Structure 1
Amino acid sequence: MRPVVFDGQFGWFHPANGPHGVVLCSPFGYDALCTYRGLRRLAERLAERGMPVLRFDYPGTGDSAGDASEPGRWRAWIDSIKEAVAWLRESTGVARVSLCGLRLGGTLAALAAQELGGVDGLVLLAPVLSGKNYQRELRAHYRQWLSIPASMDCVHEPDTDAFVEAYGFRLYQDTLESLRAVDLRRDAQQPAARVLVLDSLDAGRVDALVAHYREQGLEVERQPFDEYSKFMLESLDSELPRAAFASIENWLTDRDGDTMASARANVGGAADHAAVHSATHVATHATDHIAGHPVAPNVVETPVWLDGGRLFGIYCAPAARCEAHASATAPAALLLNTGAVSRIGNARLSVRFARRLAQQGVSSLRVDLRGLGDSLPSVDGLNLDALYAPEGVDDAACAARWLNAQGHRGAVLLGICAGAYIGLHAAAREPAVTGAVLVNLQKFTWRNLCDEQGKPAVAPATFGSTRSYLRSMCQPRKWLRVLKGQSGGLPVARELTARFAARVAATLADRLERLSGIELGAREAHRLIAAVDAKGAETRLVYGVLDEGVEELECHFGAHGARLRRFHHVRAAFCERTDHAILSSSAQENVMSYFENFYRDSFSEIARTDTEPAHDARATRSSWRQSRAAQWLVKRARAVRLFGEAS
């Protein structure tokens, strides 16, 4: 596969020699993050069966230019599919083109196919049939997210007509008005010669859609999509819908000479599959020097391959007229994957932040570590052990060295959750890493927890942070639930007692070690931080005040990470209104502003942002003490704003 850019849209072309091409139309927002790996695998499988495939990002989404808040997005999304079809036809000379769309991508594909005419096949995977229902679905997803522990202490977005948000992605008023008018049961007249519908969500509406197309004389086939619920899970847990993909492959190749091409493509089994990956690897070398393209005012992005074509990333830099704003030799930002999410980031954070930095004169690289996004190998599934594997640290170090080779004075890492773990270990050993901002780090060290099937052999913790429990103890309604038997108070009490005991034991061990000089128990976290400090990499461990990662920090380094004060280059910092995965708009702004100010103070002369003033460290500690007192003395008291460093 190779990256392509057309009319500002970024995409991937999967080459093949057959006469029938396919354009994949991705879903919107969080659905696209969940299914990114799966749709890549579908494109690869179709290419293996002789069909050239193009998958791409709509304007204002993914790696494409623009922002979702811009007016005219709905029209632009439909037009971008038409442009993708034109690009595929012109680039490959295919005689026929089919569209395959998932969720909102299916709806857009049907509408674009109607306007295009001459589309051979249309595959609709759980399409959005009613725009009004889809908006209600997004609002329900947002309310569901607010109910989970990971969203604690975030700012609730207002229920407004200006936008609808789900998991950090927004559809704005202009797009919503266009979407509300959509109903596939009456729209998209004769979109293609034949249609395949896979859906198990709304039988009545799907029946009406199938009848609608059959009345128009179209060849329509309907199949179940029983794997939908497992496919649409969070990106780490998303499972390939193998039966659905097989149905799509067979349906698309059941035409003329495609059957022969399919047979030829499948000869050799595993050996052929290896050859495909070899061809993919070779293709990457042919595109090492793909030209940069503008994506925002004064911002140019260039797709790049690292480590001999194994790792993929996008280098984002100021345009030529912006180069005088910052030295070309300044450190660049290296944006790591958050969990199993591709380089785009939750809520498209990595893309938006990279372009924001470039407008301030700071270059960046957002990279996919191995097995993630569009890097090699292409995998069917992932687990926690893979996310925390040492190979990921090797890849982060490789990306930092690449930035160094481009003339930058090293790399300043930004990692969230699992990305924070990878970033911390890379900062401890890689000379090219000059600094790091590590957000909501959950573990300092990792022991493989998954069994042979990739499932956690140890049940994940079901308890939130201690501070969240202490805060809830100030709420009478929580005690009322305990008294009514609606909530288990005893298990919580046991957990809090165990945590308190573990913290006391760690504190005593630390003090005895300092007195005697003898290491007591496992001290891997201390050795890791000491390695980062000795290397001189300025590092900040940033936590939401109620994040579960604070437990790990305080277990090893005392309340508020106070024992980090003995190090010169490592500090802990805390900020309120910051959810775990950085999905809320307030959390995104907190992280971006913190990184900008940290970079300015440590590495650059870029101007301080106006969004967040610096806090004196002593004032921060004083505010923390006041907030803890307030939690016990005032019911429902919220922690005061903490966005400085505990030093």
Structure 2
Amino acid sequence: MLYVTKEETADSFDTLSWEPGSASMPVSFSRTVGHYTPAMAGTAPSDCAVLFLSPWGFEEMCTRKLWRDLAERFAASGVSSLRFDYPGTGDAPDDMEFPGGLPVWEAAIEAAAAELRRLSGASRLILVGHGLGATFAALNAGSLGPVEGAVLMAPVISGRFYLRELAAWSKMVDDGLGLSDEQRIAAKVSIAGLVMPGEIAAAVRGLSIQAIEAIPARSVLVVHRAARDNEAAFADRLESLGATVTRRDYDGYDDLVSNPTIARQPEAVATAVAAWVASLAADTGTAVHPAMPPAPTIVEGDEFCEEPIRFGPRHRLFGTLCLPKGERRGAAVVLLGTAYDRQAGWARSTVETARYLASNGVVSLRFDAANVGDSPPVADAPGQVLFSAGQQDDVRAAFDLLGGRGLGPAVLAGRCSGAYLAFRSALEEERCLGVVAVNPFTFVWDEDENVEEALRYNPRSLGDYRKRALRADTFRRLASGEIDIRRAAGNICRQLGSRVARSAPSIFWRLSKFGRLRHAVHASFGRLSERHVPMRLIYSETDVGLERYHAYFGADGTGIKAYPGVTVEIVQGADHNMSPPDAKTFLRRHILEMALAAAK
């Protein structure tokens, strides 16, 4: 955990240390929020500290866990680090303007460098950037004071090419979600519902580092993608300018950035980066006179006040309390994350929901469960945490935090795996006053079902297949081989087979696995009904979770009427992530209504 110790030196100053298993310390500066990880206890804090410069958008979501992992590896070598959100992104306030394009982000980078030096006592920095963040490192190093080295991972060489690539990437994500042309954000630079401010996009379009005139540091590690000759040529350019350049193939890049839900960490690359940084920092001496961060860290908007916070045993979880500035109303809301998305949520939907609730007087807590985003894993726990009972311990810690602050009890709200976690936690947590479950994949996990397979090859609903079959674009994708026909056919056959099994007389159900699962689901709903815990089930019209809902409660859903505290809503024209603005508004309103009703 992070703690304060007295160093027996002539000047005797306070320092912070980190121990494995604890989350990093929240800090705020320049209208944004960051995570500071000091050197590990028992190591000599290096006079070099690492400043992380993140990519943008979908790529940032996919690399969030990688940044936390690298920060912990650096700490084990005595190297402190700071990672942060650019203003207007992630958990930073979003009422931002960007005159001139990049100056606001560049000012935040400079403020982050100064904050890192203040906290760590280090005089020199090592910049670690990914994607667009690597480009910022290359271009802005000269304004950050002494920079000992730079790690440039998959750097954006040409901003114009990057935006074209981003547009194609965005279409692939939208196609995967099943969004129609009318539902896409086509007029702006965007991906996965995240919109790059127009002024920022215009400035990025003009970026180019192919003919860079100055090296960011004497020592540079370029982690380049095999098929990108321009990245290798950029490394050549740095070498010609006098930098000592180490080159490393970016093994596992595609598996990392394909989808945050199924992202695989590039272990070999992370190990190489950590070893390079440790070697560079080894001979730079010891940091002196670090400063204590303010406590608590506060981020403010017009109608909310947020406190990024570590909580749980050994401060192992990282989350954000969002408090209304006006009069408090209703019960608090615990906003549970989906899959491995960071606590800000898909397209920042969780941040937006929290601040909407605060504007209506409702407290909320959003957080990363263990081994998700900025919360480290639990020792000896399985690497795959989704749909596991262990995540209920994290929810329990969230209720403990709210209770300790006098803010509980609370209602639970989540989507997909977060909806499953909300449902299962409500069964065990007496302090839960209600549940809003959005597109729950299931209510009882089938132990014969492999979580990895379910996430990677999650079948679409029959309704979704039917809807897509009517689109002209589907025929183009079939002809081009973009659609895996065998897998789609297999999914359809399995769902049709499941429907046939469910149509069998109920006398046979108790003899089948389906019957046992159905009994367990109804027993769970019965327990919540006996406790008078209200629940709102919300589905998009073609969500695959509806297949299981109808399996357990009938094709017409009439079986749910046995539980009077449960309401079911079907949202038309929405995808699994509830991306369209109208769907987001619908969800926020229902969560607010649940919070207000639960306190009566």
Paired position in structure 1 for 2:34: 11
The one of 142, 147, 153 equivalent to 2:170 is: 142
Rate the CA distance shift 1:203–1:290 in 2: closer, same or farther, 3 A: same
Give 1:182's match in structure 2, choosing from 207, 220, 224: 207
Amino acid at match of 1:431: E
Cα distance per residue 1:28-61 (max 9 Å; x no partner): 1211211111111111111111211111111112
Q: Is the 1:253–1:259 Cα contact (8 Å) retained in structure 2?
A: no
Which segment is superposed worse, 542-551 or 438-447?
A: 438-447
- 2:140 is matched with 112
CA distance in 2: counterparts of 1:496 and 1:450, whole angstroms: 15
Contact 1:503/1:554 (<8 A) preserved: no
Counterpart of 1:36?
A: 64
Other-structure match for 1:581: 577
Q: Give the whole-Å Cα distance in 1 for the aligned partners of 2:443 and 2:322.
A: 30
Q: 2:115 aligns with which of 74, 82, 87?
A: 87
Aligned twin of 1:298? 303
Task: Give the CA deviation at 1:481.
Answer: 11
Is it true that 1:253 corresponds to 2:278 in the alignment?
A: yes
Q: Which stretch has the larger CA shift, 490-499 or 215-224?
A: 490-499
Matching residue of 1:611: none
Q: Could you list the per-position Cα deviations for residues 316-340 of structure 1 after superposition, in whole angstroms to 9, with x for gaps in the alignment?
A: 1012xx12xx34xx30111111112
Structure 2 Cα separation of the partners of residues 356 and 188 of structure 1: 46
In the alignment, what sits opposite 2:552? 556
1:205 shift after superposition = 1.2
SS at structure 1 position matched to 2:110: helix
Which of the numbers 531, 534, 558 marks the counterpart of 2:530? 534
Q: What's 2:364 paired with? A: 364
Instruction: Report 1:231-250 matches (<5 A).
Output: 231-250=256-275
Alpha-carbon separation, structure 2, partners of 1:57 and 1:476? 40
- Matched residues in 1 for 2:137 and 2:209: separation? 11
* Cα shift readout 1:251-295 (whole Å, capped 9, x = no counterpart): 33334743999xxxxxxxxxxxxxxxxxxxxxxxx99x9325233
Unaligned runs of 5+ in 1: 262-285, 514-518, 606-647
In 1, Cα distance between equivalents of 2:494 and 2:518: 22
Q: Write the distance in 2 (CA, Å) between the matches of 1:156 and 1:192.
A: 44
Distance 1:43 1:496, change over 3 A: closer
2:151 alignment counterpart = 123
**C-alpha separation in 1, matches of 2:279 and 2:522:** 61
Aligned to 2:11: none
Whether 2:312 is the aligned partner of 1:313: answer no
Corresponding residue for 2:193? 168
Secondary structure of 1:555 counterpart: helix
State yes or no: 1:191 paired with 2:216: yes
Q: Structure 2 counterpart of 1:362, which letter?
A: V
TM-score calculated relative to the size of structure 1: 0.78
Change (3 A) 1:571 1:226: same
Q: CA RMSD in A?
A: 3.5
Aligned to 1:349: 349
Comparing 221-230 and 246-255, the one that deviates more: 246-255
Distance 1:581 1:158 in 2: 15
Equivalent of 1:96 in 118, 124, 128:
124
CA distance in 2, matches of 1:194, 1:442: 48
Contact 1:506–1:555 (8 Å) recurs in 2: no
For residues 506 and 40 of structure 1, what CA distance do their matches in structure 2 show?
52
- 5 Å matches for 1:464-543? 464-471=460-467, 494-495=493-494, 497-505=496-504, 522-543=518-539
1:77 pairs with one of 91, 105, 123:
105
Q: Deviations over 1:73-120 (max 9, x none)?
A: 622222211111111222222131111101111112222213335322
Partners in 2 of 1:202 and 1:297 — Cα distance?
Answer: 47
Q: What is the CA-CA distance between 1:13 and the residue it aligns to?
A: 1.4
Tell me whether 1:200 sits opposite 2:225 in the alignment.
yes
Q: CA 1:560/1:405 → structure 2, altered by over 3 Å: closer, same or farther?
A: farther
Match of 1:622?
none
TM-score by length of 2: 0.84
Alpha-carbon distance between aligned partners in 2 of 1:500 and 1:433, rounded to the nearest angstrom: 34
**How many angstroms does 1:230 deviate by?**
2.3
- What secondary structure sits across from 2:102 in the alignment? helix
Distance (Å, rounded) in 1 between the aligned partners of 2:565 and 2:106: 50
1:563/1:292 CA distance change after superposition, 3 Å: same
| Cα distance in 2 for residues equivalent to 1:337 and 1:246 | 28
CA-CA distance at 1:201 after TM superposition:
4.7
3-state SS of paired residue (1:114) = helix
Partner amino acid for 1:147? Answer: D
AA at the equivalent of 2:356: R
Name the structure 1 match of 2:589: 593
Supply the distance in 2 between the matched residues of 1:291 and 1:72 (Cα, whole angstroms). Answer: 33
C-alpha separation in 1, matches of 2:564 and 2:102: 51
SS of 1:197's equivalent? strand
Q: State whether residues 126 and 198 of structure 1, in contact with CA within 8 Å, keep that contact through their aligned partners in structure 2.
A: yes
Task: Give the conservation status (yes or no) of the 8 Å contact 1:342–1:368.
Answer: yes
Give me the whole-angstrom Cα distance separating, in 1, the residues matched to 2:439 and 2:360: 26
Task: Please say if residues 134 and 151 of structure 2, whose CA atoms lie closer than 8 Å, have aligned partners that are also in contact.
Answer: yes
SS in 1 for 2:49: strand
Question: 1:543 and 1:48 mapped to 2: Cα distance?
Answer: 45
Structure 2 unaligned segments of length 5 or more: list them.
1-23, 40-44, 287-291
CA apart distance, 1:70: 5.5
Q: Which moved more, 1:351-360 or 1:543-552?
A: 351-360
- Return the alpha-carbon distance in structure 1 between the equivalents of residues 478 and 215 of structure 2: 59
Report the equivalent of 2:85.
Answer: 57
Distance 1:442 1:3, change over 3 A: same
Residues 467 and 195 (structure 1), Cα distance of their counterparts in 2 relative to 1, 3 Å cut:
same
* Aligned match of 1:265: none
Aligned partners of 1:65 and 1:295 also within 8 Å: yes
What's the counterpart of residue 443 of structure 1?
442
**1:147–1:376 distance in 2 versus 1, CA, 3 Å:** closer
Write the distance in 2 (CA, Å) between the matches of 1:387 and 1:405. 27
State the partner residue of 1:410: 409
Check whether the contact 1:153–1:546 (CA below 8 A) recurs between aligned residues.
Answer: no
Deviations 1:428-453 (A, max 9, x none): 231211111111101111134588xx
Residues 33 and 564 of structure 1: is their aligned pair in 2 closer, same or farther, counting only changes over 3 Å?
A: same
Amino acid in structure 2 at the alignment position of 1:107: T
